[in-house]
Copies of this chain bind each other. A is one copy, B any other.
Amino acid sequence: MIPRRAQEYYVLGIDGGGTKTLSLLADNTGKVIGRGVGGPSNLHQVNAAELRAALRDSLRSALSTGACFPGRLAAVHAGLAGTEAAGGEKRRQVQEIIQETLTAILEPAGSSKSAIPVVLTSDIVIALVAGSHARYGLVVISGTGAVVYGEGRAGQQAQVSGWGRFIDSDGSGYGIGKAALRAAFRSYDGRGPHTLLEELIVEEWRLNSLRELLQHVLQKEPAVEEIASLAKVVGRAAEAGDQTSVDILTTTSKQLLEGVLTVARKLNLREQQFPVVLSGGILSKVDLVATQLIRGVREQLPLANPLRLQAEPATGAVTLALEMARNGICFENTPLGGM
């Protein structure tokens, strides 16, 4: 059924995260010819019904061009957030849900079910591949949360950080936001130096005073995303010369560098050439963090090649789906996210 090395076939790459699920349909040259967006599909957040709905919306739009008919879909690669922490049973369920959703869209009559090969990895793996074009090298993702992950030539893997945002917020937007709030309160009560953050946070959250902010946070913790969104305020304050903000961002880049050095050491990559892919909102939007991290990587790992991810992470899923279609191999049992 699967047209291996055939002239015309298509693949699907899926990137599922905490805010949306993006599906890309590509032809066998890798050219994207369809895209669709659905709701969140982070496995920590959604149940089976929500996952089905997100995939259905996303895949239906991606396939709506009609170019890809059933027998021509050669491979699907999905990188879903939370997969690295899911057990084998859960992963099989998710693979089945993807398969069933695809079958329902492509063969609504349900006449002849074709087995579409679906491989599931994490959003981390596809971000690595989107930048390095192979399952090799390191990826640093810093958005609301942060993680450093890498793979060696022999398939060995290592991950540091990313162990739940609330405990281990090192290097993340959430960590930056929490540090900013802490610095503002230290400025307010006299333990720390004065910082511009005191005024800027009050302004950003449309409050009248830090005392008012205090009333809020004493009663209820703001949402993780709300705290993480303060990272851009810290970026602005740092650009305006606020030393406390510069210090917070410098600490963040050092934490990410520590993760890079640890993963490189664990994979024995220190004496080799390898890419270090920088991804996520903090590394694309808060320039000081990315700049300092790149400088640190160059100093400490002269053979490494740090690069900012320009492409969408979903293109990494397309690359892996194409590879699977070309090789005709289904890597269903590839371990991922282990230590």
- Chain A residues in contact with chain B, CB under 8 A? 44, 82, 85, 158-161, 163-164, 166-168, 170, 178, 181-182, 185-186, 188-191, 214-215, 217-219, 221, 258-259, 262, 265-266, 339
Give bound CA distance, A185 to B171, whole Å. Answer: 14
Q: Are B167 and A178 in contact (CB under 8 A)?
A: yes
Q: Are B191 and A258 in contact (CB under 8 A)?
A: yes
Give bound CA distance, A188 to B160, whole Å. Answer: 9
Given A44-B219, A182-B167, A217-B167, A191 and B161 contact (CB-CB distance below 8 Å): yes
CB-defined A-B contacts under 8 Å, sample of 26: A44-B219, A82-B218, A85-B214, A85-B218, A158-B190, A159-B189, A160-B190, A160-B191, A161-B189, A161-B191, A163-B185, A163-B217, A163-B218, A164-B214, A164-B218, A164-B221, A166-B217, A167-B178, A167-B217, A167-B221, A168-B185, A170-B182, A190-B262, A190-B265, A190-B266, A191-B259
Q: Are A166 and B221 in contact (CB under 8 A)?
A: yes
List, in ascending order, chain B residues with CB within 8 A of A218's CB.
Answer: 44, 82, 85, 163-164
List, in ascending order, chain B residues with CB within 8 A of A266's CB.
Answer: 190
Q: Nearest B residue to A339 by beta-carbon distance?
A: B189
Give bound CA distance, A262 to B214, whole Å. Answer: 19
Q: Nearest B residue to A178 by beta-carbon distance?
A: B167
Q: Are A167 and B181 in contact (CB under 8 A)?
A: yes
Q: Are A182 and B166 in contact (CB under 8 A)?
A: no
List, in ascending order, chain B residues with CB within 8 A of A168's CB.
Answer: 181-182, 185-186
- Count this chain's copies in the assembly: 2
Q: Which of B85, B159, B219, B265 contacts A215 (CB 8 A)?
A: B85
Q: Are B160 and A217 in contact (CB under 8 A)?
A: no
The 5 closest A-B pairs by CB, nearest first: A160-B189, A164-B217, A167-B181, A163-B185, A164-B218
Give bound CA distance, A85 to B215, whole Å. Answer: 7
Give bound CA distance, A182 to B168, whole Å. Answer: 6
Q: Which of B185, B219, B259 contacts A167 (CB 8 A)?
A: B185
List, in ascending order, chain B residues with CB within 8 A of A163's CB.
Answer: 185, 188-189, 214, 217-218
A101 CB to nearest chain B CB (Å): 24
Give bound CA distance, A164 to B266, whole Å. Answer: 38
Q: Nearest B residue to A258 by beta-carbon distance?
A: B191
A81 CB to nearest chain B CB (Å): 11
List, in ascending order, chain B residues with CB within 8 A of A265's CB.
Answer: 190
Give bound CA distance, A259 to B44, whole Å. Answer: 39
Give bound CA distance, A248 to B154, whole Å. Answer: 38
List, in ascending order, chain B residues with CB within 8 A of A166's CB.
Answer: 217, 221
Give bound CA distance, A211 to B189, whole Å. Answer: 39
Q: Nearest B residue to A85 by beta-carbon distance?
A: B218
Q: Nearest B residue to A145 by beta-carbon distance?
A: B218
List, in ascending order, chain B residues with CB within 8 A of A259's CB.
Answer: 191
